[in-house]
Structure 1
Amino acid sequence: MTMPKEDTNPMRALQRLENGNASVRLRAVLAVGTTPDPRFVDQLIERCAIEPEFHVRDMLTWALTRHPSSITVPRLIDELRAERPQARSQALHTLSKIGDRRAWPAITRALLTDPDDEVARSAWRAAVVLVPEGEEPGLAGVLAAQLGRGERETRLSLSRALIALGEAITPALRAATTDPDPRVREHAIATERLWRDPDAGFGFAVEEAKRVVALGSTGREG
């Protein structure tokens, strides 16, 4: 089906980003991303901060990746200092999709430990994509310090981020398996199990970790 003519005009599409209908906003973002123009970047990023619908936010990220990173990355880095958590989390998400490692210095410890779980999760994902070679152990230490944090989805996100760092996580993960906090030990052991056996699934790894902690052992042989 041919898209209505008005939807293919990016300047008019920008005006529809505030429409109350999510489908209208989605088509508007599609039109803008189909015909990228540096003049659109600021409005796309501003919309990311307030857009309530996930699928529209995802399309906003796609539209931003269609623009030159030399324009989008500095503007997204500025957004990391925004007060609104959604502005920070969506900027981080978009930076992870762009994958420009010039953004790495902006992924600060403050973002990686942000009290808002969505911001922190987005920072973890961005960090493992952008981390320069050789800096993985330092990042692993920062991430491992948050083992035991949050509910299931947050813990799963952290485990995935750690696992993405590969062997660099070994020292920090091993240390966490002896942490005084049983929640930290459980999460560390579950992450290690999931790393060694990805097919096991996070739920199974967590249950196994709980059993190991209850028995007072990390479950390693000799």
Structure 2
Amino acid sequence: MSKQDRDTEQAIRRLEDVSPSVRLRAALGVGTAPDPRFVGKLVERCAVEPEFYVRDMLTWALARHPSSVTLPALLHEVRSERAQARSQALHTLSKIGDRQAWPAITRALLSDADDEVARSAWRAAVVLVPEGEEPGLATVLATQLGRGERETQLSLSRALIALGEVIVPPLRAATTDLDPLVRRHAMATERLLRDPDAGFEFAIEEAKRIVVLGRTSQG
């Protein structure tokens, strides 16, 4: 076995070390000296790595490799049954920014039952969407309005706002939804589009008041 092969095996073992700090340094080392032989292991490790900051370094290391090498593995991973694998693959695709990955951002991923996967898909989608397809993406994203806790709702609002004015028609349509959570989220998102400094909490509270007033006037 050559020295290079021994070094590769050692680096791979360190990526699986019980110590998070060792795994972090290993990912940093792999990203500093990119080698296609590491891509499979980096992707595999993303799916199971428990520490956020190590996962972030794994993503950085993958982004340091040519997208021609990383994309096939990541596109396979977004179809994994493991939620973390899907989420991290999508997160990495958003960091790489290669629009060849766009067809992999399916409606199923944008509405994934796992909030972390869906949020990663939203972020990836707004980065990868081809010019001219923003209105269609906005329409799909609007179907997720009212979903989850505040953090998830804020992620969706940010993704929508990144698309610009094309989000206004689906947001306006959502303000007539039967679900008050959907209506409030749509109103808050449009408020943030118009006034980014308003703050999400303020926009949500204001939307709540509008929904309540509308319900009272109808009564």
Same fold (TM over 0.5): yes
Q: Residue 29 of structure 1 aligns with which residue?
A: 27
Q: Which residue of 1 aligns with 2:78?
A: 80
1:99 corresponds to: 97
In 1, the alpha carbon distance for the partners of 2:31 and 2:202 equals: 41
1:15 — aligned with what?
13
The CA RMSD over aligned residues, in Å, is: 1.0
User: Where in structure 1 do 4 or more consecutive aligned residues deviate above 6 Å?
Assistant: none
Structure-1 residue corresponding to 2:190: 192
Map 1:133-212 to 2 at 5 A.
133-212=131-210
So what's the TM-score if we normalise by structure 1?
Answer: 0.92
Between Structure 1 and Structure 2, how many residues are aligned? 209
| Distance apart, 1:170 and its partner CA | 1.1
Which runs of 5 or more residues in structure 1 are unaligned?
1-8, 218-222
SS of equivalent residue, structure 2 residue 156? helix
For residues 199 and 44 of structure 1, what CA distance do their matches in structure 2 show?
A: 39
- Residues 45 and 76 in structure 1, CA contact (< 8 A), matched pair in contact too: yes
Pick aligned residue for 1:55 from 44, 53, 56: 53
CA deviations over 1:30-78 (Å, ceiling 9, x no partner)? 0111110000000000000000000000000000001000010111000
Amino acid at match of 1:39: R
* Residues in 1 aligned to 2:52 and 2:15: alpha-carbon distance in whole angstroms: 14
- Tell me, what secondary structure is at the counterpart of 1:174? helix
| Structure 1 counterpart of 2:3 | none
Structure 2: gaps of 5 or more residues: 1-6
Instruction: Using the aligned pairs only, state the percent identity.
Output: 78
Q: Alignment partner of 1:148: what SS?
A: coil
What CA distance in whole angstroms lies between the structure 1 residues aligned with 2:169 and 2:86? 30
What per-residue deviation string (whole Å, max 9, x for no partner) do you get for residues 196-216 of structure 1? 111111011111110111111
Q: TM-score scaled to structure 2, two decimals? A: 0.94
Between the aligned partners of 2:174 and 2:55, the Cα distance in structure 1 is 36
